[in-house]
Chain A
Amino acid sequence: MAFLLRRLGSAIFVVFGATTLVFFVLNILPGDPAVLVAGDGASPATIANIQAALGTNRPLGVQYEDYLWRLAHGDLGASFATNEPVLSRIWAQFPATLELTFTSCVIAILLGVTLGVAAAMHEDRWLDRVIQTIVLFLTSMPSFWIGILLILVFSVWLHWLPAMGSGRPDQLILPSACLGLNVSGVLERMVRGSVLDVLHEPFVATLRGKGLRELPILLRHVLRNALIPVITLFGVLVGQLLSGVVVIETLFARQGLGRLIVDALSVRDIPVLQGVVLFVSVFYVFLNLLIDLSYAWIDRRVRN
């Protein structure tokens, strides 16, 4: 219980810190949002007008106070471009991103765990080397290049799957395969290492000595122990996925938060940008909290 409270407290602190960080990055760094909104060559009067409208001519402390106050009431402000509340735009786009993140995560886990276990079982033999080489390439290719290759093969040449859009299940296959492939490499390395660690433990030798076959040893004893530390990697994985989403949604012309960010960038819509980054960060922090707690629940040694 004390552990839970401590972790919750630090998560709340981090969320508060993240809101502050995002606010200051977008407001303190050289580059006045009003100038960004007005565009190149705008007259000083236009800029002053925009500053007044945005409230950016007030002292930064006042702006920050105002920002926190509205945030506490669940108000992320209104978009410069469409004047819609940022939060409702986020909620409209969130399901598409969640869908993509979830399916890529499933693909990454299936692929990463399978390859990792297979590589570990064949340590230093040819299968292991083949898998390690594949993984080296998977982790080294930019996700959007994997996406382009997938589009070329499956959409342009084979005409099997659509390259663009979102909403239908078949439109989800290529983008999630692309993100999943990209992230599975990191997972594979972790799983391989973890399974190898367990395989070298004396209890495995004992089980083998008792005459158990390799498969039951693997499934019933090794995996159970080996996959626990992998859970901690899950947070990093989702962080990577959320980073990849920005580019992948643009590449596949999908709806979603990443697309919202890129669109906001092109019209310099600061409130939307601020809102989405904040939303994703809060999601990310609480997901990590959940992972930490579940880890502590599974492995009691962590609690102290």
Chain B
Amino acid sequence: MSGHILKSTLLAVFGKAETRAPVKAPPRWRLRGHAAIVLPAIIIALILLCAIAPGWLAPYGPSDMDDNAILAAPSWHHLLGTDQFGGDVATAIIYGARQSILVAFGAIALGATFGTVIGMISGYGGGRVDAVSMRLIDVWMSVPPMLLALIVAAALGGGFSSTVIAIASMIVPRFARVIRARVIGIKILPFITAARAMGASRVWILWRHVLPHTGSVILVLATVGVAEAIIIGASLSFIGLGVNPDQPDWGYLLSEGRNYLTDAWWYATFPGLAITLLVVSVNLLGDALRSRTESRQGQK
């Protein structure tokens, strides 16, 4: 501390005008900053592990039922209690991770791809292409997101792929808008003009020169999107439109547990807690990513 004061005093007295700029204070929240990335990363890694290899972590098998413990409260045998068939809630949550994660990630991958392509074509093409596609995006966004996902899921008849497409359909327009704005900022930069002067084709320029520069934006949008996709996926299951009940995801567990609120508080509480933990972690990671990319862009 005294070193800093000494340094800044010395600089103030002897330094040149430019170097007299405020000495950078030691980052007060350095530990916090790291914890804000490490902790959510650990939670997400754990949940991913559940999704990849539920058998390793689950205390019971996915269809094991304990007839002596129907709707039993949390105990050493069943850490998070049991359901109406005597199934272990913790096991159900661990096995449900895969469905919840696959739906969210699938929807983001699909929505981000289409949204990015539309945004790039619209932003780079400009003119009439841009005007038409942006009006279409306006229309697309005029249906409240959950309702859009709902009618798409209903039209496709429910199930895994229909849920993924439904959630992707509400992700696409947001990506398209943000990517378009970014591309408009990029396409006036000299290196794009240089590439054009060298005779590069549009597709080549978009793929090799524009797309890499939208990477950080895509990453930030995708983390925000994953958080929302998890919640919407759970909501769709909750109202009975989601993935197959044979492979219950967290939203489905919640909707089942909701029928036993008076007898078994744990049944609906813990699947919801799992969703919340995952979404909080994703959001924290997203915030950290955003502040990094923003500060990096600020330095340019």
Bound CA–CA A156/B136 (angstroms): 47
Q: List, in ascending order, chain A residues with CB within 8 A of B156's CB.
A: 29-31
- Let me know if A255 is at the binding interface, CB within 8 A: no
Task: Encode B217-242 as 1/0 by CB contact (under 8 A) with A.
Answer: 00000000001000100110011110
Q: How many chain A residues have a CB neighbour from B under 8 Å?
A: 51
| B156-178 interface (Cβ within 8 A of A) | 156-157
- Contact between B280 and A136 (Cβ–Cβ < 8 Å)? yes
Does A296 interact with chain B (Cβ within 8 Å)?
A: no
User: Is the CB of B254 closer than 8 A to any CB of chain A?
Assistant: yes
Choice from B142, B151, B152, B273 contacting A284 with Cβ under 8 Å:
B142
B39 within 8 A of A: no
Does A13 make an interface contact (CB < 8 A)?
yes
A304: which B residues are within 8 A, CB to CB? none
Q: Let me know if A18 and B150 touch, CB within 8 A.
A: no
Is B139 touching A243 in the complex (CB atoms < 8 A)?
A: no
Query: In whole Å, how far is A268's beta carbon from the nearest beta carbon of chain B?
Result: 8
Given contacts A156-B262, A156-B265, contact A239 B144 (CB under 8 A): yes
A139-B283, A142-B231, A280-B147 given as contacts; is B240 within 8 A of A148 (CB)?
no
Please count how many residues in chain B sit with their CB below 8 Å of the partner chain's CB atoms. Answer: 44
Please give the distance in Å from A61's CB to the nearest CB on chain B. Answer: 19
For window 159-213 of A, CB contacts with B under 8 Å fall at: 163
The residue from A17, A31, A240 contacting B138, defined by CB atoms under 8 A apart:
A17
CB distance from A76 to the nearest CB of B (A): 15
Q: Does residue A116 face the partner (Cβ distance < 8 Å to B)? A: no
A-B contact pairs, 10 of them (CB 8 A): A22-B151, A137-B276, A142-B238, A143-B235, A152-B268, A239-B144, A242-B147, A266-B240, A268-B154, A280-B144
CA of A18 to CA of B143 in the docked complex: distance in angstroms?
7
Secondary structure type dominating chain A contacts: helix
The chain A residue sitting closest to B281, CB to CB, is A140
Chain B residues whose C-beta falls within 8 Å of the C-beta of A31 in the assembled complex: 155-157
> A34 within 8 Å of B by Cβ?
no
CA of A257 to CA of B238, assembled, Å: 17
Cross-chain contact A140 with B239 (CB below 8 angstroms): no
A277 to B283, CA, bound (A): 30
Taking CB atoms, residues of chain B closer than 8 Å to A239 are: 144-145
Q: Are B258 and A265 in contact (CB under 8 A)?
A: no
Residues on A with C-beta less than 8 A from B142 are 14-15, 17-18, 21, 281, 284-285
**Residue among B144, B157, B276 with max Cβ neighbours from chain A (10 Å):** B144
